[in-house]
Each structure stands twice: as C-alpha cells, then as structure tokens.
Amino acid sequence: MSNAAVIDALKAALPPKSWSEDPGEIAPHLTDWRGRERGETPILLKPASTEEVAKAVGICAAHGAAILPQGGNTGLVAGSTPKGEILLSLKRMNAIRAIDPLNDSLVAEAGAILETVQGAAAQANRLFPLSLGSQGSATIGGLISTNAGGVHVLRYGMMRDLVLGIEAVLPDGSVWNGLTVLRKDNTGYDLKQLFIGAEGTLGVVTAAALKLFPRPASAAVAIAGLDSAGAAVQLLALMKAETGGGVAAFELIPRSGLDMVLKHVPGARAPLAGSYPWHVLIEVTTGQADAAAPMLQAALEKGAEAGLIADAALAQNQAQAADFWKLRETIPEGEKAHGRAAKHDVSVPVSKMAEFIDRASAEVEAMLPEALIVAFGHVGDGNVHFNVSAKSPGAGEDFIRACEKATRHVYDLVGEYGGSISAEHGIGTLKRGELSARKPQDVALMRAIKQALDPKNIMNPRMVL
Ligand SMILES: Cc1cc2nc3c(=O)[nH]c(=O)nc-3n(C[C@H](O)[C@H](O)[C@H](O)COP(=O)(O)OP(=O)(O)OC[C@H]3O[C@@H](n4cnc5c(N)ncnc54)[C@H](O)[C@@H]3O)c2cc1C
C-alpha cells in the first residue's frame, strides 16, 4: 500500500485540527535539541484524545506504516526525530485529568509538560519530585518512555519508581487501560513497566497516574569545593548519615565544567573564592520548617572536620540557591558553547564512581592529548556524564571522529566496573549498536517482547533494538 493511501486515510479519519502538512509547522519537530539530527515526515499528527491516537495507530497498523511518537523533543539519544515515519505529537494531549491528595496521586495526559505537573502538584500542597534541566519542555509521555532520571533520583527514584499506572495505545490501535492509582496491585505481570523506558517501541503512552509526595517544609542548598572525586563519594555518605536521609540532591561539578559555565552563561558567578578541581552541589530538604539550613550547615562542618571539604558556601536565600543550581543545570549549555564533545551518560556502583572517573580520565587523556574531560552528574546514583571536550574551543565533527576509540574504551571500562552504557538518557538510535554488541541476550528477550506486541514493527522501528 502506498504512502499516499495511509495519509489519505489518516486525513479522512481525524479532524482537520489533528493533522498538519504545513512545512512551517512541521519544521521544529524535525530537528533534535542538540541540533544534530535532521529528519522528515509525510505528515504531523496532533491528536487531541486517546480515541484519536487509537484511530491513527489503527490506520497505520492496517497500512503497515511506521510511527514515531514525539513529546517535547528534548531526548538526547537521536530518538525523537522522524526519518520518514509518521510523526505523532502528543503535545495537544496535555490535561491534568485528576489529582487525589489523599491518595497522593495525579493523572496527567502524555503531552503534559513536567513543569505543569510539578505546579499542579504544588497547588494541591504535594510534590512531584522528578526534576531535570529540560522540565520546561519535556512531557510526561517522553519522560516515561525514556525512564528519565534527573537530580532527585537519590531520594525519590527514577520515572519508573514514580508511575502508578499507564494508559497506552498498542501497536494494533487498541487501548490498554492500565491507568490504576493503586499502590498495591499484584495481579500478575506489572505490564506498565514494559512501556517505561521502551522509547515508544511498544505503543503510545497517552496518560499516566503519578505518585505524589509531601512538600518539604524547608530546603537548603550549598556548594562545596573538594580536592578529589573520591571526597565527593565519601562526603555523600557522611551527608546522608548527618541529615538522617535528608539529602535530596548531590551533584558533581568539575572545574572544567564550571569554567565553561562561567565563561559562556550570562550571569553565572563563581560560588567560592578559591579554585578547586571538584565541587558538589548539595540540597537538603526536611518536613520541619526552618530546619534544613541549620542541618546542612552542621553537616558541612562535619565534612570539613573530616577533611573532605576544602571550602563551602551555604545559599543565604532562594535567589542564591537558584544561582547555585544554575551553575549545575547550565553545564550542557556551557559545553555546547565551547564546542562539540563526545558524551557518555554512564553509571557504575556509587562506591566505584570516583575510581572510574579518575581511571577513565587518565586513560582517555593518554589516548587523546587534546581531550578535556568534563565529568559531572548525579553522585548519589553513580551516574556520571563523562563528556570528552577538546581543550581548544570550537571543536567540530573531526574531534568527535577522533574520540571514537576513546568512546569504546569508556564503555569497556564501564563494563569492567559492572556499569551501564546508558544511565538515564536511553538508547534511541545513538547507542543501538553498543547495546546489541554488549547485551545480546537482553536484546534477544526485548525482541521477543517487541514481536509479541508489535509484530508488524510499526512503532519506532529504528529505536533501541
Ligand atoms: C537540557 C536537558 C537536560 C536534560 N537532563 C536530563 C536529566 O537530568 N536526566 C534525564 O534522564 N534526562 C535528561 N534529559 C533528557 C530527557 O530524556 C528528556 O528531556 C525527556 O525524558 C524526554 O521527554 P520529551 O517529552 O522531550 O520526549 P521526546 O524527546 O519527544 O521523546 C523521547 C523518546 O520517547 C518517545 N516518546 C515520546 N513521547 C512518547 C509517548 N507519549 N509514547 C511513547 N513514546 C514516546 C519518542 O519517540 C522518543 O523515542 C535532558 C534533556 C535536555 C535537553
């Protein structure tokens, strides 16, 4: 059946507002956040309801036409750009369907933006804790499909831990209603987990029930300067013990990354008077009013006494806390302005993190004298964004090619430490080859699941497997 037949069928079945062939409207959907991917699609579908998604997927299934679902298009693994697939944007499906404060749950449609969900939870005096740099654009459906992490995983877990139920349109166009808000439901396999982290390969997520938490009564943020990555890992354990589990975020910032931010991000200011090779941003939250700052201050003093902290600054107000967070959140922006970098979103056991960073840095620098390592990220999750920039600004595609051997070496080392080649960004098309080379048995099992749910291979056929 021709492409034209499926397009005609879609246009006939959906209201005119629910599709577009306007190149101007489609264009922003055809390039990724990093500006590297350029794609194409015969049509942009913009369904307003689960029924419309089901109708569209059913038509595509009947014609064997491939579909790429898209949320906020902020994914970082070349998985959100269509290359000829029918593009299905969930952005119009952005309603908060329900909030139940007594059940600590919220039901949102797939296109709801994370910041909107956080705001809706706050209005009900609750917290939805997922928090990441793209929260102003990333959608619930995309965050579920990539099993996003972010800065509060240490305390609240990844998206996988925050989902109670899912509604999805399956690859045959039928609707699976798994939208439970229950906390206990042992009725066989936990099917929702199949869709979390599936990157759109098993169906289209149309809505989700999310877990809410009590809003902390007080929060405090500090930045500490450290002499080694090892001190960061030790300090995390000390901070957890001293605050009774109050650490909500613990983020590693290397000198190299901070320098890029200070140089390229307007308004960024050095947090400490001295210069240190490593920093950590620490956020402590508590259920008691005014308790977080004294608790964090006391824990910092313990860290200094233990010889783990060289210097530290406790944010004196919310504006300063926001400035500190900005230094961490804008590292990708600073890196982008510096030039191209080979990026590795990897994880190892927390206890091995410093050893991994030190060894990988030394070995990559030995292989590539031009390399400038920017290793930042989530110490509490053993997740380091081990990025290899060039010492000289303005590096381009040549530098990325020169990094290929170093990339394989980083992934080999990750394997040696029992780690993962994708901690939180997913596989997309970028890491597909690495995944099948390094985890063939897992990929075979995933293929069996894919075959059972999507025998025609129409859902995101280029991703993951
Ligand atoms: C500045 C910045 C900071 C970031 N920080 C973090 C971070 O700290 N931690 C982290 O984990 N990630 C981070 N990310 C990446 C993160 O994965 C994405 O921001 C987010 O999870 C993707 O959501 P999205 O709505 O943009 O999805 P998209 O990019 O549109 O899609 C991502 C994937 O999910 C699929 N998909 C989208 N919606 C659906 C749906 N409804 N049903 C089925 N499949 C769907 C797509 O086909 C694609 O394969 C960051 C990204 C940026 C740009």
Rounded percentage of the chain residues whose pLDDT exceeds 90: 98
How far, in Å, is the centroid of ligand 1 from the Cα of 310? Answer: 37
Helix (H, G, I), strand (E, B) or coil at 209: strand
Q: Could you tell me if 100 and 163 lie in one domain?
A: yes
Distance 163 CA to ligand 1 centre (A): 16
Q: pLDDT digit string (tens) for 244-279?
A: 999 999 999 999 999 999 999 999 999 999 999 999
Distance CA 316, CA 307 (A): 24
Summarised one tens digit per residue, pLDDT across range 266-314 is 999 999 999 999 999 999 999 999 999 999 999 999 999 999 999 999 9
Dihedral (Cα; 383, 385, 386, 392), 10-degree rounding: -160
State the pLDDT at residue 371. Answer: 97
The reply to whether 8 falls in a domain is: yes
CA of 314 to the centre of ligand 1 (A): 32
Note whether residue 462 is domain-resident: no
Pair 312, 225: CB distance under 8 Å: yes
Domain match, 240 and 350 both: no
d(Cα 66, Cα 278) in Å, to the nearest integer?
46
Question: Is the pLDDT at 1 greater than 80, yes or no?
Answer: no
**Is the same domain home to 32 and 116?**
no
Task: Tell me how far apart the alpha carbons of residues 442 and 425 are, in angstroms, rounded to a whole number.
Answer: 18
Task: Please indicate, yes or no, if residue 229 is contained in any of the structural domains.
Answer: yes
Tell whether 314 is covered by a domain: yes
Cα–Cα distance measured from residue 346 to residue 387, given in angstroms and rounded to the nearest whole number: 10
**Does residue 202 sit in the same domain as residue 174?**
yes
Average pLDDT estimate for 323-327: 97
- pLDDT digits over 193-226, tens only? 999 999 999 999 999 999 999 999 999 999 999 9
Whole-model pTM over 0.85: yes
What is the mean predicted confidence (pLDDT) over 219-240? 98
Whose C-alpha lies nearest to ligand 1, atom 16?
75
Residue nearest to atom 28 of ligand 1 (CA): 73
Which tokens belong to 253?
């910032």
Domain boundary (330, 360, 376) is at 330
Token readout for 428 is: 């997309």
On average, the pLDDT of the chain sits at 97
pLDDT at residue 192 is higher than 60: yes
Residue 375 above 60 pLDDT?
A: yes
Domain membership flag for residue 441: no
Three-state DSSP class for 297? helix
Distance from the CA of 367 to the center of ligand 1, in angstroms?
A: 32
Report the nearest-CA residue for atom 47 of ligand 1: 69
Which CATH number is 394's domain given? 3.30.70.2740
343 CA distance to ligand 1 centroid (A)? Answer: 16
Percent of the chain predicted with pLDDT > 70: 100
126 & 173 share domain: yes
> In this predicted model, what pLDDT tens digit does every residue of 72-106 receive, in sequence order?
999 999 999 999 999 999 999 999 999 999 999 99
Ligand 1 atom 7, closest CA: 150
- What confidence tens digit (pLDDT) does each residue in 135-183 have? 999 999 999 999 999 999 999 999 999 999 999 999 999 999 999 999 9
- Tell me, in angstroms, the distance from the centre of ligand 1 to residue 158's CA: 13
357 and 376 together in one domain: yes
Residue 436: phi and psi, rounded to 5, are -70, -30
- What's the average model confidence in pLDDT over 343-370? 97
- Residue 178 falls inside a structural domain: yes
Q: Say whether both 77 and 111 belong to one domain.
A: no
pLDDT in tens, 417-458: 999 999 999 999 999 999 999 999 999 999 999 999 999 999
Instruction: Give pLDDT tens digits for 7-23.
Output: 999 999 999 999 999 99
Residue 238 lies in a domain: yes
Instruction: Kindly report the protein residue whose alpha carbon is nearest to atom 44 of ligand 1.
Output: 200
Looking at 64-134, list the stretches that DSSP marks H as alpha helix, in order from N- to C-terminal side. Answer: 114-123
Choosing from 27, 60, 89, the residue where a domain stops is: 89
Pocket test for ligand 1, best of 45, 76, 201, 431 (most atoms within 8 A of CB): 76
Residues 116 and 146 grouped into a single domain: yes
The encoded tokens of residue 42 equal: 């015969």
Using CA atoms, how far apart are residues 42 and 337, in angstroms rounded to an integer?
Answer: 33
Task: Based on the fold, state whether residues 206 and 247 are members of the same structural domain.
Answer: no
For residues 255 and 346, membership in a common domain is answered with no
* Dist. CA 115–CA 178, nearest whole Å: 24
CATH number reported for the structural domain that contains residue 74 in this entry: 3.30.43.10
Q: What is the number of domains present in the chain? A: 4
Its domain, for residue 105, covers 96-214
For position 156, which CATH number holds?
3.30.465.10
Q: What's the CA-to-centroid distance between 199 and ligand 1, angstroms?
A: 9
- Same structural domain for residues 46 and 81? yes
198, 302: one domain = no
Which of residues 330, 352, 383 is at a domain's end? 330
CA dist 18 and 14 (Å) reads 6
Binding pocket residue ranges, ligand 1, CB within 6 Å: 33, 68-76, 79-80, 90, 110, 132-134, 138-139, 141-143, 145-146, 148-150, 199-200, 204-205, 332, 424-425, 460, 463
Q: What is the pLDDT of residue 2?
A: 58
Is 452 within a domain? no
What mean pLDDT is predicted for residues 401-415?
A: 96
